Amino acid sequence: MAVKVHVPRKARLVRFFLHSWGKLLIALAVIALATGAAVFTYYYNRYARLVDAKLRSGPYTSTSMLFAAPKLVMLGDEGSPAEIAAYLRECNYGDARQASMGSYNLRPDAIEIFPGPESYFRQEPEVIKFSRGKVSQIISLRDNSEGTEYYLEPELITNLFDRKREKRRIVHFGDIPPIMKDAVLAAEDKRFFQHSGFDPIGILRAMLVDLKERRNAAGASTLTQQLARSVFLTQDRTWRRKIAEALMTMHLEKKLSKRQIFEYYANEIYLGRRGSFSIHGFGEAAEEYFGKDLTQITDPDEAALLAGIAQGPSLYNPFRSPDRAKGRRNTVLGMMREDGFLTQAQYEHAIAAPLEIVSESAESSAAPYFVDLVNDTLQSRFQDRDFQANSYRVYTTLDMDLQRDASAAVQVGMEEVDKQLKRRYKTYGITMPLAQCALIAMDPHTGEVKAVVGGRNYGMSQLNRVLAKRQPGSVFKPFVYTAAINTALGDNPTVFTPITNLVDEPTTFWYDNKPYEPNNFESKFYGNVTVKEALAKSLNVPTVKLAEAVGYDKVVQLARSAGMNIDIRPTPAVALGAYDVTPIEIAGAYTIFANGGIYTKPIYLERIVDQHGSSIYQSEPEHKTVLDPRVAYMMVDMMEEVLRSGTGAGVRARGFTLPAAGKTGTSHDGWFAGFTSKLLCIVWVGFDDNRVLKLDGARSALPIWTEFMKRAQRHREYRNVSPFTPPDGIVTADIDPTTGQLATPACPQHDTDVFIAGTQPVDVCRLHGGGATQVAGWAPTQPSGNTPASPSPTTSPDYHNRQQVQSIPISPEPVPPQQPKKQHKGFFGRIRDIFK
């Protein structure tokens, strides 16, 4: 019987590996390990280089940034150091001195500002001190000299400007409130500061949940993994992508600190859409959803909502699905309580808080229609530059305060329009269509566009209505009257003045053998009216008569000189604004009135700086003299009358009292165009399908214009508005409204009107016991012997309302020097000459 010898296991293994098969297995294992190590090293280094390159350039800096206009701070301005600090954070300033845009140091009663190498300005460091809520001192930190003003960095409109239309508002780790950090950790990665990029406990927990739910119910990705996926990779769920994600996660943990990883994540995470833009980062999300700077997010319910959206930005969009978003918010609050970030009392208070987000129509911070205008300008004027793939800094003319005012005014005004339309459509049992609106505000002297609203809701419609061609209606009429007042210059047989008489009655006009029969609003006719009264009441028939007398071609020539399109034709209909123009064309055209006869082209861009800090563009205002300043002032005076007694009187009734001039307009749509000495604004209201609005401009566009201007006057730049100043060559005269002649002390009523010197009446009212005629500075050589050319029936003088600019005394003493170019005699004056 054979004896079985027991061979130890270790000996058997040794014998096996000494055998040829064992040696082969060892060799294969070594080769596999070496190959694996080589492959790992190759791919790790490959993705490490990719990560390093991204980190060197910044994963979200290789895109253009759009900035608003700089903000001026002056002695006496109200505010606080904290408010300026919040503003500077909007401008990408940090609280660390190495910030490239600039940095600041906040003190209890002051703020120190240090512009960086990428700052718009090359200013010295300054300290702004406050006392009792106002700026008390502005001191240079370089030489301790004191100043009266300081320009703050332009505010960031949108951080990204690329093909994906992404928006970010960069924040630093120190700017993120503790409650926001707690909410993110609770919702996404509670052991973030303990693990090395992967969370085994989280993976096991997720596996157990998945087995229990029998579906992929829980995720186990850490913040580092999510950062690697969102910044450097696609969202494809393939093994190749997962391996790359793991390698990048390892390198990110090796390369960056936990604070840096958290900061990158906080700026990169996708958090939904607003209109046509996608929102990235908690900084932008805080602004879009709550209208706040991220530093102001201090309530647990707000932090939990932002953190909760990250799991499903479309699913938990608070605009589209408020109940679902609130449910997710409450889930995150529960996680925060379980992890010890909230007490039971804090949790109960937060869970009971209502979901309060800013209105979806409030897009003032984004200025999306203005951004589109800038984009169009960049694409058309700088075709050799790729603004969508390079980090240009584009400085614009936008005033963020006015932009917010414009958005608010449109919202308030369109609610009023909706109520009026609802009553009308309810009467007829028809579903009310949605009216739209456009507003553009600009500096008439520089052409800088300060605010743009191109529609009620950019998310619903990206059509920019400031560029839409529509019939301007009566806002075009001032150009007819301007052509008429222009007759005072040069050798014209007929000269029109504000008191020239026109007949308002049903009239048929013939042009190109075709009849044209305009009607007045509500078919009301007023008989004899003055030029000034016809404009104030926006009368149609007298306006066409005036255009016919002056020449339709001259009206069109003036309109084109003021920047309107070449499609305007010299026909009777041109007088009533029948040819399409855009609101922005009207804005540019009205600068000839607000800017003393000089046309100023609207501009959006102020400066462009490339990624190397070199300026590639600097704006130059485009000016063109269109009118004599005396004619421009005459028109301003007549448009002031529109606001005093005409169709624009609602401006004063609604509480706007600053010196202003303007004109209502009604076609298919409602218009209002008006200005002060500092700000010009155009408002259009109508339907996109061009159906008739059936609300005149005074009830549709005027309320929006007034609301905007009332808000604008709160800001220092637009508050101290001076009256319009007459240029040399403008005189005033007291007129008897009955005779249209110079009033005497015996006249029961005096109206003061302005004239271009030489066109004012020279006959004293005989009806009320007048005497000899003298006007200061204008004495006819032969007071009663020279008979001027007989005026036509449509040019006899009449009365209109008053504005005191310069008194013209009536004196028996002759005053030199020159003969007036034109004399307009009233009815009684002509009778007197006949008997002579």
Question: How many other CB atoms sit within 10 Å of the CB of residue 235?
Answer: 8
Cα dihedral across residues 485, 486, 488, 493: positive or negative: negative
Cα separation, 357 vs 355, whole angstroms = 6
Tokens of 520: 């007045």
For residue 254, with 0-12 CB atoms within 10 Å meaning exposed, 13-18 middle and 19 or more buried, which class applies?
Answer: exposed
Cα separation, 70 vs 153, whole angstroms = 6
Strand ranges for 305-435 from DSSP E: 393-396
- H/E run at residue 335: helix 322-338
Three-state secondary-structure class, residue 242: helix
Pick the catalytic residue from 126, 153, 155, 188: 188
Q: Which residues contact 558 (CB under 8 A, 6 or more apart)?
A: 479, 482, 483, 486, 626
For the question of residue 118 being annotated catalytic, the response is: no
Tokens of 498: 């504000």
Question: Are the beta carbons of 597 and 627 closer than 8 angstroms?
Answer: yes
Return the closest-CA partner of residue 760 out of 732, 785, 739, 779. Answer: 732
Question: How many other CB atoms sit within 10 Å of the CB of residue 45?
Answer: 12
Cα separation, 817 vs 780, whole angstroms = 9
Q: What angle do CA 554, 557, 561 make, to 5 degrees?
A: 140
Q: Which residues contact 480 (CB under 8 A, 6 or more apart)?
A: 543, 546, 547, 550, 555, 575
- Kindly report the length of the chain: 836
Question: Are the beta carbons of 836 and 787 closer than 8 angstroms?
Answer: no
For the question of residue 474 being annotated catalytic, the response is: yes
- Please list the residues that pair with 511 across neighbouring strands: 514
Question: How many other CB atoms sit within 10 Å of the CB of residue 722?
Answer: 10
| SS3 readout for 686-745 | ECCCCCCCCCCHHHHHHHHHHHHHHHHCCCHHHHCCCCCCCCCCEEEEEECCCCCCECCC
The Cβ-side half-sphere exposure at 600, using a 13 Å CA radius, reads 23
Strand ranges for 390-542 from DSSP E: 393-396, 436-442, 449-453, 501-504, 509-511, 514-516, 527-530
- Between strands 730-735 and 751-756, the pairing is antiparallel
Asked whether the bond before 659 is cis by omega within 30 degrees of 0, the reply is no
Map tokens 């240090």 to a residue: 114
What letter would DSSP give residue 99?
-
Three-state secondary-structure class, residue 797: strand
Q: For the chain, what percentages of helix, strand and coil (3-state, to nearest 5) are there?
A: 40, 15, 45
Residue type, 363: E
Cα separation, 778 vs 807, whole angstroms = 13
Q: Where are the alpha helices (DSSP H) in 537-685?
A: 540-550, 552-561, 583-589, 591-594, 629-645, 650-653
Cα separation, 64 vs 159, whole angstroms = 7
Residue type, 62: S
The Cα-based distances of 239 to 36, 235, 242, 244 in angstroms read: 16, 12, 5, 9
Return the closest-CA partner of residue 506 out of 488, 490, 480, 525. Answer: 525
Question: Are the beta carbons of 60 and 134 closer than 8 angstroms?
Answer: no
Pick the catalytic residue from 64, 278, 407, 474: 474
Question: How many other CB atoms sit within 10 Å of the CB of residue 253?
Answer: 18
Three-state secondary-structure class, residue 152: strand
Show which residues are catalytic: 188, 474
